[in-house]
Amino acid sequence: MTTPTLSIQNLTVDIPTRHGILRPVQNVSYDIAPGEILGVVGESGAGKSMAGNAVIGLLNPPAHIASGEIHLNGIRIDHLQGDEMRRLRGKQIGMVFQDPLTSLNPLLRIGDQLTETMLAHLDISQSEARQRAIAALEEVGIPGAAERVDSYPHAFSGGMRQRVVIALALCAEPSLIIADEPTTALDVSVQAQIIALLKKLCRERGTAVMLITHDMGVIAEAADRVAVMYAGQLAELGPVREVLTAPLHPYTDGLMGSTPLASRGKDRLHQIPGAMPRLDSLPQGCAFHPRCPRTEADCKVSPGPQLIDGAACLHPIAREDVA
């Protein structure tokens, strides 16, 4: 068996506050194999970005990793500090953020930003870095890369900027890319272009991708496996087709049902009653039980169940029920 590119085991992130410890990520474990796209879905506050930031070491203090291990290509990275982490970031892990405007420096030319990253991580000359920068821009589909390499970010449209950010994330040839809502700020047609680009690059290079998004449609088209998060915990993990067409966890089921796409032809959308609990007032037992249609007495008392057979639920929906 090959070593997974990224392996997260029982990751817990804590934020100590005056009113007690908040736990935005709790006991989360998943692996990503080389060349695999893992979709991480959940609503705002589910902890999906927090988990991504923990991997790349960008948690804002006082948030910190309280327990658990993160391994990248078999090497433990969760305890790395300062310089060691900085060498890893960009070199081994690339990051694509949601907003392409704020993730580029408006005062530096595109080419300078690309060469800076490459010179920091790769042992190459200035002129070679420039050549590679142009090649990287061509690869992500920017027309006239040789001329545009000297443009400033403001001269690019939103979709083109996100391509530059992807080129930036890929230029040091990392083995893992964390894409945090890479298409949320973009239009539908541009989103399709960016998703196709991510898929192509990841297939060609065998890069593992953690694709964080709230859009189930994007997950369906891009991801190989999907992890559904709810209130900081993993609710369900499995191959994308199974999770989306025959969800085991009632939350995944509710989430799928409430997308307008799934309710075509119906007068009303399926809705999950209530809202996600705040981190400082998580209910006893399973975090989803107050909103869950399948709640039974044991859901309210026993602590949140561990992920068993794909879903963290004591009373999962049986696959035959759905069919």
For residue 188, state whether it binds other proteins (rule: CB under 8 A): yes
Among 10, 105, 245, 306, binds other proteins (CB under 8 A): 245
Task: Name the CA dihedral angle for 135, 140, 146, 151, rounded to a multiple of 10 degrees.
Answer: -130
* Closest C-alpha among 285, 280, 310 to residue 300: 285
Burial of 85 (0-12, 13-18, 19+ CB in 10 A): middle
Give the residue with the Cβ less far from other proteins, 49 or 191.
191
Structure tokens belonging to residue 71: 């391994």
Among 123, 147, 267, 321, binds other proteins (CB under 8 A): 267
Instruction: Convert residues 150-179 into a mask of x (bound to other proteins by CB under 8 A) and - (unbound).
Output: -------xxxx-------------------
Dump strand ranges (E) for the chain: 6-17, 20-32, 37-41, 64-72, 75-76, 93-96, 176-180, 208-212, 225-230, 233-239
Among 6, 40, 195, 235, binds other proteins (CB under 8 A): 195
For residue 17, state whether it binds other proteins (rule: CB under 8 A): no
Are 235 and 311 contacting, i.e. CB atoms less than 8 angstroms apart? yes
Give the residue with the Cβ less far from other proteins, 35 or 91.
35
Give the residue with the Cβ less far from other proteins, 260 or 303.
260
Which part of the chain contacts other proteins (CB under 8 A), choosing from 5-13, 132-140, 213-221, 279-287?
213-221
Structure tokens belonging to residue 34: 């080389």
- Return the amino acid letter for 101: L
Structure tokens belonging to residue 94: 């690339």
Are 305 and 313 contacting, i.e. CB atoms less than 8 angstroms apart? yes
Cα 43 from chain centroid?
A: 12
Give the number of residues in contact with other proteins, rule: CB under 8 A: 44
Residues numbered 215-234 forming contacts with other proteins, rule: CB under 8 A: 215-218, 220-221
Q: How far is the CB of 198 from other proteins (least distance, A)?
A: 11
How many other CB atoms are found less than 10 A from the CB of residue 259? Answer: 14
Among 152, 190, 205, 295, binds other proteins (CB under 8 A): 190
Residues numbered 270-299 forming contacts with other proteins, rule: CB under 8 A: 270-272, 275
Residues forming contacts to other proteins in the complex (CB under 8 A) are 43-44, 157-160, 187-193, 195-197, 214-218, 220-221, 240-241, 244-245, 254-256, 258-264, 267-272, 275
